[in-house]
Structure 1
Amino acid sequence: MTNCLNCHNNIVKEASFCSNCGAKVITERITLKRILSEVAETIFGWDNKYFYTLKSLIIRPHLVLEDYVKGVRKRYVHPFTYLIIGATLVLFTFTFFLDNFMEHLNEFNIKLAENYKNVGVKNLDLQGTDKIQGEILKYFNIVTLLLIPLYSLFTFIIYRKTFNYAEHLVFNAYIQGTGFIVALIFFYISLITHPLVYSITTFITLFLHAYIFGKLYRLSIGMSILKLLLFNVMFIAFIIILVTLIVLVSILIAYLNS
């Protein structure tokens, strides 16, 4: 019999965890291997929860969402932890490899401009497009995280029945967290193949959205597509309204300062 170093509860020598506080019984010295192992356990869970959650969301996404709402949560990573891990991986990747991607994209645009020039199209300047794409990638994960509450409001309005707004926040966190991983995979593929491969990410994310909500609500393919179109219409309308308000406010401020 020995004592837990965290709560001082009596535990048997063969025990791996304290029965009172659940702390792991550690007897070995601190090593670099141990530190790295603890970091991995903290991020991904004791039983690789992150990878299990990712795999489950790909294979049977609707069951993961249904389980979480019902209270089956121990086997899955928390939805917002899952989302933040995905966003962090995207941030890390774009921080270190964005310049490589932009060089790859610039080379492609130069060749494209030369091809257009050969067939008689003059003064084709794609540098502006490069800059826009670079800025989009640079702030991709931040903007996406900020839009999760808006996405959730739209899906709550569109699908309405059964689940409340908070549950839709959970659904969209899981979906977007998976979308981040899809974006990473295609980003790396585009680095070694063709820069336009990355653009496929948008369509796959839309498919993921329609597929998961379709399975969750037991919708037909046609109804799933209709709901997705409605979601896109609402989002585009929001952007138009937001841009219009910004322009009107800018005009008003300029008028008042004149």
Structure 2
Amino acid sequence: MNCKNCHTELQDNSDFCNSCGGKVIRNRLTFKNLFEHISETFFNYDNKLLRTFVDLFKKPELVIGGYIDGVRKRYVNPISYFGLALTFTGLYLLILKKFYPEALDFSNYVMEGQEEFQRRNVTFIQEYMSIFMMLYVPLYAIIARISFMGLKKFNYTELMVVLMYWQAQTSIITSVIIIIVAMLGITQGMISFIFLPLMILYGAYVFKRLYNLSIGQIVLRTFLFLGVLASTMIIITIIIVIIMFLTGDLQELIEAQRAAVEAAKQ
């Protein structure tokens, strides 16, 4: 008998492959064993996925620091966990568009006359959300590298691992809660104002545990991170405005704003 995964020759009574560790499957696939496999993978407390999710809150230094130090079997690796977060994000956007489109309405959070411009921006971001999430990780890692300068515990690649776990954890939580609050008639824009500071606090908590910093130290480093991030966003905004000016979108926005002001005077 050979392993179906790596084709290594096995003994007849083997339950696992000595080469790749794969489980030996002898029975045909049925609804019963399919359900048992899904239950074991996703709902068993002792499985890696649930353990990773829980320990990223309880002791993130074991999950993230352990992976960086070479512990690769106990928890879900950052790329797989990040891929799961992308799936959750795509799923929640699909559910909102299909069943709760009003939850995606941001018109109450923009200036009068900019509704159409904002709608186009939100639609663009939603369509390419997965790409934005992937781009955030190397950007945040650069900012973290700057913010935690002098602390040489992690290199740039290792900081990307930290940020992948952080981004994945916050995205999974956000996706689930946004769907729940959408059922209650609460828009995504409203809940975003609540989640943003919570995401920042969770990020500070993760870095505090990883770097073993005091409260004062992590507060200073967090404000430095936010300052660098704000400066980066301003530069990106300026670049976007220049592109809009060159493409004519800026003039369209100005005219829409002027029309809204004139309509309000009448």
What secondary structure, in the 3-state scheme, does the structure 1 residue paired with 2:162 have?
Answer: helix
Corresponding residue number in structure 1 for 2:51: 52
Q: Is 1:178 matched with 2:169?
A: yes
Deviation at 1:129, TM superposition (A): 8.7
The answer as to whether partners of 2:144 and 2:159 remain within 8 angstroms in 1 is: yes
Aligned pairs (5 A) from 1:39-188: 48-104=47-103, 127-128=115-116, 131=119, 133=122, 135-160=124-149, 161=151, 162-188=153-179
- Structure 1 residues 79 and 158, CA, compared in 2 at 3 Å: closer, same or farther? same
The answer as to whether partners of 2:82 and 2:168 remain within 8 angstroms in 1 is: yes
Structure 2 letter corresponding to 1:164: N
Q: Give me the whole-angstrom Cα distance separating, in 1, the residues matched to 2:243 and 2:126.
A: 28
Deviations 1:185-210 (A, max 9, x none): 32023213332234322121111111
Deviation at 1:223, TM superposition (A): 2.6
Q: Give me the whole-angstrom Cα distance separating, in 2, the residues matched to 1:217 and 1:5.
A: 43
Deviations 1:89-115 (A, max 9, x none): 110121122354432465995xx9xxx
- Structure 1 residues 250 and 64, CA, compared in 2 at 3 Å: closer, same or farther? same
- Structure 1 residues 245 and 188, CA, compared in 2 at 3 Å: closer, same or farther? closer
The answer as to whether partners of 1:11 and 1:18 remain within 8 angstroms in 2 is: no
The answer as to whether partners of 2:48 and 2:75 remain within 8 angstroms in 1 is: yes
The structure, 1 or 2, with the larger RCO (C-alpha pairs under 8 Å, 6+ apart) is 2
Deviations 1:160-207 (A, max 9, x none): 321100100110001111011121132023213332234322121111
Q: Give me the whole-angstrom Cα distance separating, in 2, the residues matched to 1:223 and 1:80.
A: 30
Q: Give me the whole-angstrom Cα distance separating, in 1, the residues matched to 2:84 and 2:20.
A: 27
The answer as to whether partners of 1:105 and 1:130 remain within 8 angstroms in 2 is: no
TM, length-normalised to structure 2: 0.75
The answer as to whether partners of 2:8 and 2:17 remain within 8 angstroms in 1 is: no
RMSD: 3.5
Q: Give me the whole-angstrom Cα distance separating, in 2, the residues matched to 1:10 and 1:185.
A: 43
- Structure 1 residues 149 and 124, CA, compared in 2 at 3 Å: closer, same or farther? closer
Corresponding residue number in structure 1 for 2:212: 218
Deviations 1:145-165 (A, max 9, x none): 211101011111211321100
TM, length-normalised to structure 1: 0.77
Q: Give me the whole-angstrom Cα distance separating, in 1, the residues matched to 2:219 and 2:19.
A: 51
Q: Give me the whole-angstrom Cα distance separating, in 2, the residues matched to 1:108 and 1:65.
A: 39
* Matched residue count: 239
Corresponding residue number in structure 1 for 2:193: 199
Q: Give me the whole-angstrom Cα distance separating, in 1, the residues matched to 2:220 and 2:235.
A: 22
Q: Give me the whole-angstrom Cα distance separating, in 1, the residues matched to 2:57 and 2:170.
A: 10
Q: Give me the whole-angstrom Cα distance separating, in 2, the residues matched to 1:143 and 1:94.
A: 14
Long gaps (5+) in structure 2: 249-266
- Structure 1 residues 75 and 84, CA, compared in 2 at 3 Å: closer, same or farther? same
Structure 1 letter corresponding to 2:168: G
Corresponding residue number in structure 1 for 2:11: 11
Structure 1 letter corresponding to 2:11: I
Deviation at 1:244, TM superposition (A): 2.6
What secondary structure, in the 3-state scheme, does the structure 1 residue paired with 2:206 have?
Answer: helix
Q: Give me the whole-angstrom Cα distance separating, in 2, the residues matched to 1:43 and 1:186.
A: 19
Structure 2 letter corresponding to 1:4: N
